[in-house]
Structure formats: C-alpha cells, structure tokens
Amino acid sequence: MRDDFAFKEISIFLEERGRKDYAALSYPVRYGVSSRLIFKGYRFDCDLNGRVRYIYSEDHRLWPEPFARIKRLECNNWIFYHPSTYDDIYALTGRYYLPISSTDPSTPFTMEDPFNFPWISMAITAWDELTEYASKCIRHADDGARDLLGAVARNGMDALRERSKTFFEILGGTVPVLPPETMLVDYDVIPILISDGCLYRCAFCRFKTAKTYKIRKIEDIKVQAKRLRDFYNRDIINYSSVFLGQNDALLAGDLVIDAAEIVYKELNLAGTYHDATHIFLFGDVKAFLNATNVFWRQIDSLPYSHIHINVGIESIDQETLDMIGKPIDTKDAMAAIETAAYINRTSRKIEIDLNFIFGDNLPPGHYEKMSRHLRNAHRKAPKGTVYVSPLIGERHDPRRLRRAILELKARADWPVFLYRPIGIEPAAPCKQRLLDVY
C-alpha cells in the first residue's frame, strides 16, 4: 500500500477501513476506521481523533512477540494481548489471545507481568516521541495529513492522562469490571452508569465499590450520554456497543429499558460503522429471577442487535456459597440456570450467560454439582455461555486450572470459557510511574 503521506521518519495511512464485524481471528486485525502511522519501526493505530489505540511492531528487535499488541482504553489503561500458549488460549477463552490488563496483570498462565517488559515501555514512549515529531511535520503535509498530525501532536501521554480524568468525571464513577462478553467486541464499549454499587457485596469479590447500591436518575443518564457523545467526537462511529453499569444494572428494573433507548439514540448507534450493535450488563440472581415476562419482552424489543446479560451464580453448592459469602441458596442458583436456558431458547436477541468461580481450595461439591447440573440444564438452547473465574488473590496451578476448565467444557452442554476480568478504572499510580520512567 502506498503512503498517503511520508516525511523523513514518519509514514501515514489515512482513515483505513477495517473489519465491520468482531471475528475471532488468529492474527492482529483492525476494526472500524482508523489511521495508521509508522514511526521508528512501530505501528500506531489511531482513532479518528488522533489518539493512539493500538501499538505493535513487525521488527522482532523492537517487538519480540510477533502476534502480541497493546491497546489503550479511554481510561488510559492498557490491555496486552498475549499470544503465548497459543493452542490453549483458544480452547480456554474462545479467542486467540489472553487479555492482560495493566491494572491487574496477574494470571496463572503467564510467568511475568508484560507491563514490566522494557520493550512495552519503550513502545509507549515512542508514541510521545511521535507526537513531538508530528508537530514539526504539520507544515509539510497536505490537508488530510495535516489535520491528523495536528491531532496527534495534541495527544501525548500527559494529555491522554488528563483526558481520562474527564472520562471518569462524566461517568461520576468507575467501572470496576466489564462483563466477560465484552471481549466479543474487543472491549470497544461505551460505559453508561445507571446504578452504583452492588446489592450483594459478596465476601469473595475483589470488584466492590465504596458505595451502597443506588439507582441513578434518568436525567443523569441523559447527561452522561450527551457528554460522552461529545467526548468520543468523530470516533463515535467506531463504537457499536454499550455497557450499562456498574455491577448490578439489572436490579434497576424498567430503568434498564429507558436507559438503553436513550443511549441508542443519543450515541447514534444506528449510524455505527459496524454490522451489529450490542448492549451488556450484569444482573444478580434475585433481580434476574424477579424479572417479569413483560420486562423480558421489552428488553427483547430494544433496537440493539444483541443483548448480553451476565448473571453471577458462582456456585450451586451451598457449602461453597456460604464459604464465599454469596447470599443466595442453591434453589435460587439452580432456578437461575433453568431460567437462563429458557430465555436463551425463547428470545430473539437476549443472551443470558452465567458466571461461576474456580479455586483450588473450594469444596469438592462445587465442581461435582456444577459439572452434573450444567450437563442437563441447557436443553439445546441456541445461545448462552458459562464463564469461569479463578478466584483473585489465590495462587493457581495453571495445568490444574486448564485441566479443570477443559474437563468442564467436555461435560457441560453449555459452552465454557475462562473469564479474565478487565475493568475501566483510573490508571494505577504505581503502574503509571513505571511507564513514565522510559
């Protein structure tokens, strides 16, 4: 492909059109419309506002992992797409990578924190060098490249950190964890907070918020949507998905429907570049079981292509539920599985997915009952996935964990995948200092 613009050390390819779908492919791909800049051996994919989204390189001296890449989120945290243990990763996640967040890089499947690799820090530093160099090239460029170079020059890492503060100020909170289904759209979701906190506040959970559960007012949701539309600006067309947060949005009841409709209109999701639109949210077991048939029909009639609701069951063994401080009983847990299978069979757009925990120190009844019940509960439903989450804070033997997940996959009628939590939170100060020293 020819350069749209080249000046000494920099080459630019303006507004290249990438894939409109989010396919599980075994190599790095570009989604949506973005501009590509090549500088000092690195490839920077920028959004339509001139802000870096992906960094990688085809030079093995700069980038030892040829299929790895890093992605910047709007909160200015990063995701490292780890290609190691290639064969295992697809079986475990349904994708050809293991996502590792800069806010929580711990994983039993990798020995090191990739954000401690000097070559990652050097790549991020190269973006700052590019922004400085771009300012010197502006006067030599034609109109299209001049606009992009001007935008890039204004978006060094200091500016992006300041921008992330505006992002959280608009939300009026954080997103401690995204639903696992958001990996289906490469985490390209716009968050809208319709509630704060979680009703259960389970003892095992590492994603609690400081607030008690509170439902937001519809006016607050409208303001968030309008301000986020301006915040994303031109790049809004590259987003086709929304996350209604925080950790228990389903408990907000009919507000979910009103918020989904408002957001769809305000963010102009009908005009997205992508083929399909998605909405994601979490639901607790009680809220899920208490939802009426009228509610599910209204949800199913929303203008989105796909509606994903993740229900955190965690276990159907009472000893385990008591041990982890989950305030439900096995009767509710099993009823939630049956209800999820029924909705997945009868709805057009809704997909109910279930979350369970894994841990080396859980009672044996946890695995026995989960394996037995998931074998009989699906009843040929065309949708629905079980995600298993290793308990954070415990040491896990990766071989034992892999074997346990693959054994469950073989026995269950539900698709089963590993859940690697990714959140949208302010960048950790210690991690930011690490990235700043290079």
Number of domains in the chain: 2
409 contact partners, CB below 8 Å, separation of at least 6: 91, 415, 416
Instruction: For residues 126 and 218, state if they share a domain.
Output: no
Residue 431 maps to a domain: no
Bridge partners, 42 (sequence order): 39, 57
Q: Which pLDDT does position 148 carry in this prediction?
A: 94
Instruction: For residues 380 and 279, state if they share a domain.
Output: yes
Here the CATH number for the domain that contains residue 231 is 3.20.20.70
Give the chain's mean pLDDT.
88
Reported as a single tens digit per residue, the pLDDT across 309-336 is 999 999 999 999 999 889 999 999 999 9
Q: Which pLDDT does position 318 carry in this prediction?
A: 96
Lowest mean pLDDT among 51-60, 375-384, 415-424: 375-384
Reported as a single tens digit per residue, the pLDDT across 351-363 is 999 999 988 888 9
Across the beta sheet with 278-283, the strand order is 190-193, 241-245, 278-283, 306-314, 350-358, 386-390, 416-418
Residue 425 maps to a domain: no
Instruction: For residues 11 and 82, state if they share a domain.
Output: yes
Averaged pLDDT, 414-433 = 69
Instruction: For residues 129 and 189, state if they share a domain.
Output: no
- 411 compared with 4, residue with greater pLDDT: 411
Residue 168 maps to a domain: no
Cα–Cα dist 77/124, whole Å: 12
Instruction: For residues 91 and 51, state if they share a domain.
Output: yes
Q: Which pLDDT does position 208 carry in this prediction?
A: 54
At residue 253 the predicted structure's pLDDT band, cuts being 50, 70 and 90, is: very high
Instruction: For residues 132 and 197, state if they share a domain.
Output: no
This prediction's pTM: 0.91
Averaged pLDDT, 374-381 = 68
| DSSP secondary structure letters along 23-56 | ---SS---BSEEEEEEETTEEEEE-TTS-EEEEE
Residue 438 maps to a domain: no
Cα–Cα dist 413/79, whole Å: 31
Lowest mean pLDDT among 17-21, 91-95, 201-205, 264-268: 201-205
329 contact partners, CB below 8 Å, separation of at least 6: 318, 321
- Please check the confidence at residue 206 and state whether its pLDDT lies above 70: no
Reported as a single tens digit per residue, the pLDDT across 67-123 is 899 999 998 999 999 876 556 788 888 888 888 888 877 776 766 788 999 999 999
At residue 416 the predicted structure's pLDDT band, cuts being 50, 70 and 90, is: very high
Reported as a single tens digit per residue, the pLDDT across 260-316 is 999 999 999 999 999 999 999 999 999 999 999 999 999 999 999 999 999 999 999
DSSP state of 243: E
Token pair in block for residue 127: 């973006």
At residue 180 the predicted structure's pLDDT band, cuts being 50, 70 and 90, is: very high
Instruction: For residues 132 and 188, state if they share a domain.
Output: no
CA distances from 325 to 247, 314, 315 (A): 17, 11, 11
Residue 403 maps to a domain: yes
Q: Which pLDDT does position 4 carry in this prediction?
A: 65
Residue 180 maps to a domain: yes
Instruction: For residues 203 and 229, state if they share a domain.
Output: yes
Instruction: Report whether 299 contacts 307 (CB < 8 A).
Output: yes
Averaged pLDDT, 118-142 = 93
- Quote the percentage of the chain above a pLDDT of 70: 89
Reported as a single tens digit per residue, the pLDDT across 146-162 is 999 999 999 999 999 99
- Please check the confidence at residue 124 and state whether its pLDDT lies above 70: yes
Instruction: Report whether 7 contacts 141 (CB < 8 A).
Output: yes
The residue segments making up the domain with residue 48 are 5-159
Instruction: For residues 106 and 249, state if they share a domain.
Output: no
Instruction: For residues 106 and 218, state if they share a domain.
Output: no
Q: Which pLDDT does position 410 carry in this prediction?
A: 87
Instruction: For residues 357 and 391, state if they share a domain.
Output: yes
Instruction: For residues 292 and 342, state if they share a domain.
Output: yes
